[in-house]
Amino acid sequence: MQNTLQFKNTNITFSVEGKGATIVLLHGFLENISMWSSVKTALSKRNKVICIDLLGHGKSECIGYVHSMELMAEAVEAVLKHLRIRKSIVIGHSMGGYVALAFAEKNLSKIKGLCLMNSTSLPDDDERKTLRARANKMIQTNFKNMVRLSFANLFSEKSRNNFKDEMQSALNEAMQTPIQGYIACQEGMRIRPNRIDVLKNNDFKKLFIIGEKDPVLKSQELIEEAKETNSESVVFEEGHMSHIENKTALITTLKKFVKTC
């Protein structure tokens, strides 16, 4: 069941299922809470699972044209405060991982565990920043083609053939993202700071889920980042979309991680 909360005069949509220790699931760019369908079903059998539509995605509205990771983390904090959640395990996919880190930075006492799924604590390099700025200009006149291209680039070549139906379903959801939401989150990701110290300086449970063929984030660099921050890491054989490309293995891995927290 989906619920709505007012945050800074804007509607934030979220869902709550199950009972037990709290798990917060944060989706990535051009996604929404629907991406967690299989994961939520599996984890909510023994836990309370909260899924949140981040600003400008799903049924949550936009606030201006810059959705910083800090602003989106404030929205997450507002939902958890509304639900009277004191501690939680936070799992973030891609951009959701950036938001999870921003949330953890301000709310360390509320973190039982943090999983970066196809994500990183490091900021964009100069090339990536340039690409985001260029995309924000192009999206204003070529939305559909830009979203299609962005989405196709998230999957390994093998997965594009093996998961055509799942890709199309995810693409259909991505197409519902408003242009303002696209621009605001691209800008928020472009300006996000280095948060590796959030992982380095804290001893809550930490996990990196890595796609060996991830076309967005280099797997070997993520493995080194996990070692540097004393985090566990699990490497799957496909790309950036582990919830589609390696769904069964992902659910098994997340169940184990939740138990360790």
Separation between Cα atoms, residue 67 and residue 65, nearest integer Å: 7
pLDDT in tens, 183-199: 999 999 999 999 999 99
Contact 15, 33 (CB under 8 A): yes
% the chain with pLDDT above 70:
100
Residue type at 34 in one-letter notation: S
Element (H, E) at 132: helix 126-138
The band of 257, judged by pLDDT with boundaries at 50, 70 and 90, is very high
Q: With a cut of 80, say whether residue 1 has pLDDT above it.
A: no
What would the two tokens of residue 46 be? 């023994």
Q: With a cut of 80, say whether residue 112 has pLDDT above it.
A: yes
pTM equals 0.97
DSSP of 210-225: EETT-SSS-HHHHHHH
Q: Quote the domain boundaries for residue 166.
A: 2-260
Q: With a cut of 90, say whether residue 148 has pLDDT above it.
A: no
**What is the pLDDT averaged over residues 188-217?**
96
**What is the pLDDT averaged over residues 146-168?**
86
pLDDT of residue 207: 98
- CATH number of the domain enclosing 45: 3.40.50.1820
Contact 16, 48 (CB under 8 A): yes
Question: Phi/psi of residue 70, each to 5°?
Answer: -65, -40
pLDDT of residue 156: 77
Q: How many domains does the chain have?
A: 1
